[in-house]
Chains A and B, each alone.
Chain A
Amino acid sequence: MLAPSQLVSYILPGVILTIELTVLGNLLAAGIAFTVGFARLSKSTWLRLSARIFTEFFRGTSMYVQLFWAYFVLPLFGLALTPFQAAVLVLGLNSGAYASEIVRGAMLALPREQLEACIALNLSRWQRLRRVLLPQALLLMIPPFSNSFVELLKSTSIVSLISLSDMTFRAQTMRTQTGNTAIPFLTILILYFALALFISKVMRALERRLTPKAA
């Protein structure tokens, strides 16, 4: 029989690593999503094109391949990353490439009339964006960003490929060392699901906070 303490000592360090990867990866992803998303809306053809190539590249090559590449091939070019750095980088770049579509889509979904009202009120470009367009677009972005954050959480399960001991890796270790299959895997399934629920709860709370309220 498995003692509960055994379960905790096997899985807990993995939980922490999974959370770290999720938080850092998503932070990077959000930064990239806004940078690339806005670049794709830019007037400059050059910027638009490079943003487009960036997205197509990271969405087009599988994340697994990217992870291997970052870990095994980049060092050949003199850029040696720790497994953790490689994982955060790849998770963030990949997810950011997808999420840049969220940013772009939300900005494009705003009615053109809002921009015209800004011009009529003589707001500067920055003021238009900061005071009128972004507050409305952010609200539209929250639900899809919530999904994107959860997808990244799920993707962290592959980092054992480059020898990081995340939750999934820990469950595997426990399986081989204790011979018990059901408990470790059921446990981490529930943990992943709980983390996913947590993310969507937080995002929903954020959405409620940002929704303008009647006085």
Chain B
Amino acid sequence: MQYFIQVVVDGVATGAIYGALALAIVLVNRATGLINFAQGAMAVMSTFVAFGLIRAGVPLLLAAVVAIVFAFALGAFLERVVVRRFEGGDPDSAVVVTIGLLVLLGGISALFFGYEPQPFPSFFPLGTINIFGVFVSLRSVGTIVILLVAMVLLQVLFRSTKLGLAMRAVADNPRSSALSGLPVSRLLMVGWGLAAALGAIAGLLVAPQLFISPGMLDFALVYALAAAILGGLDSPVGAVVSAAFIGVVEGLAGAYIDFIGDDLKIAVPFAVMIFILVLRPQGLFGRKVVVRV
């Protein structure tokens, strides 16, 4: 039982990382109708900014804050200069553009820092914490708490602020929102910036575990996409719940099904995902029946 709970908590923590990326993908998709395949590469690049700063002697927390701010700026910048031209146009060319960005940003990261995975300091001390008699790692608990806080803050932003209302309006109907005087293009930049900042948080939290490299989030991105689609692509809650589910399934399969082990466990969530999508094409929480792309 003790072991089972540990596996589940670790799975939720891993799932929370996928969830943050999935939420970023959903934010962008709701605002612009695009699926941003570069979401992971943007997060890695931002994490590398923190890495470079730490190497230069900047304290960990400060480096993390700078990386998150950098991510926001990067997201806003990419929306403004690259993605803007493809929004509302042919979705296929937009997809190719974000895949192009994925390759480009990965290349830039590699140019500065190489392809070798390198150790990244953790935000949490090693060790475990005793919760109701069960020992779980501080890292997992910390990861879950930080991402929960980020999600609550996002929820507050969207539900209770004027900026959030404006962003929801633009996601809903940009042309009509402009007729009420909403600065649509700036709001789209903010949306991309927020999504990128969220991705950077995921990157920073997972880097100590995976070691940092340009391809660090490749698997996570695929899981995040799976979670976003499983959640229905336009449902933030759906994305997060699905991501946690994927993390747990992945963990349990690796821990309990002998022939699966570490190599094959990445395939398990996909088997589950395909099974669910066959039964419910619109995803677990989705409204839209048709998924673009």
A, B bound: no
